[in-house]
Chain A
Amino acid sequence: GQQVMQIPQYQHVQEGEDFTTYCNSSTTLSNIQWYKQRPGGHPVFLIQLVKSGEVKKQKRLTFQFGEAKKNSSLHITATQTTDVGTYFCAGPGYSSASKIIFGSGTRLSIRP
């Protein structure tokens, strides 16, 4: 079945260091979404990428969609303690565009 995997599973960084999580889909995606879930909270939509090779930025966050539309990455520059949480990529299911399949997630923790 359709799978969306993320690496690494966990990342522990010193505050101020950069962080990157990678997302790989077993199928080509029409779009990729990214979500952030704080500890004890619910996922919050961050961004959606649609075009092949697309790059979008939100302050210190840079999102990229691969040329083949099967992979994506999220890079955080100079992490802050507020960046702590689990980052999920997600893509539409092949059976229905409205069904979103979530990646395995990358949990980011930060040493102040």
Chain B
Amino acid sequence: GAVVSQHPSWVICKSGTSVKIECRSLDFQATTMFWYRQFPKQSLMLMATSNEGSKATYEQGVEKDKFLINHASLTLSTLTVTSAHPEDSSFYICSFSGSTYEQYFGPGTRLTVT
């Protein structure tokens, strides 16, 4: 399967600050990436679809101005959580689609906002 990296693996920030999370595919190129959020003991919730060279598509209820997504190249997508609040504390995971739409996930980023 595809190899996906995410950085940082965990981050603690103060309320009101912004945090950028990077997601990289290491062994293939992808025009589409996905960002998920997972709260403890819950399922994965799709936040947005990141398209290389164009604007991301956000799921209903996800604030695009709060969760800024940039897909600058075929191997890199970034998610910036702006003006973070404690309720944004969660596990953020990116993924790439395989040839039959199977998902290859990054290791995730655990965000804690204090």
- A101 to B100, Cβ gap below 8 A? no
- A98 to B44, Cβ gap below 8 A? no
Which of A40-48, A51-59, A62-70, A77-85 forms contacts with chain B? Answer: A40-48
Identify the A interface with B (CB < 8 A): 31, 33, 35, 41-45, 48, 88, 90, 92, 96-105, 107
Q: How far is the CA of A85 from the CA of B41 in the complex (A)?
A: 11
Q: How far is the CA of A102 from the CA of B100 in the complex (A)?
A: 16
- B97 to A42, Cβ gap below 8 A? no
Tell me whether A101 and B49 are in contact in the complex, defined as CB-CB below 8 angstroms, given that A35-B103, A42-B106, A45-B102 are known contacts. no
Q: How far is the CA of A88 from the CA of B44 in the complex (A)?
A: 9
Q: How far is the CA of A33 from the CA of B45 in the complex (A)?
A: 16
CB distance from A76 to the nearest CB of B (A): 20
User: Which residue of B is nearest A101, CB measured?
Assistant: B46
- B105 to A43, Cβ gap below 8 A? yes
Q: How far is the CA of A98 from the CA of B1 in the complex (A)?
A: 17
Q: List 9 A-B contacts (CB under 8 A).
A: A31-B100, A33-B103, A43-B93, A43-B103, A44-B105, A45-B102, A98-B101, A102-B43, A102-B45
**Contact for B97 among A31, A41, A98, A107, CB less than 8 A:** A98
CB distance from B52 to the nearest CB of A (A): 13
Tell me whether A48 and B100 are in contact in the complex, defined as CB-CB below 8 angstroms, given that A42-B106, A42-B107, A104-B43 are known contacts. yes
Q: How far is the CA of A41 from the CA of B6 in the complex (A)?
A: 13
- B103 to A45, Cβ gap below 8 A? yes
- B107 to A41, Cβ gap below 8 A? yes
* A35 CB contacts on chain B under 8 angstroms: 103
* A33 CB contacts on chain B under 8 angstroms: 101-103
Tell me whether A92 and B108 are in contact in the complex, defined as CB-CB below 8 angstroms, given that A99-B34, A99-B49, A102-B44 are known contacts. no
Does chain A have a CB within 8 A of B15? no
**Contact for A90 among B45, B98, B103, B106, CB less than 8 A:** B103
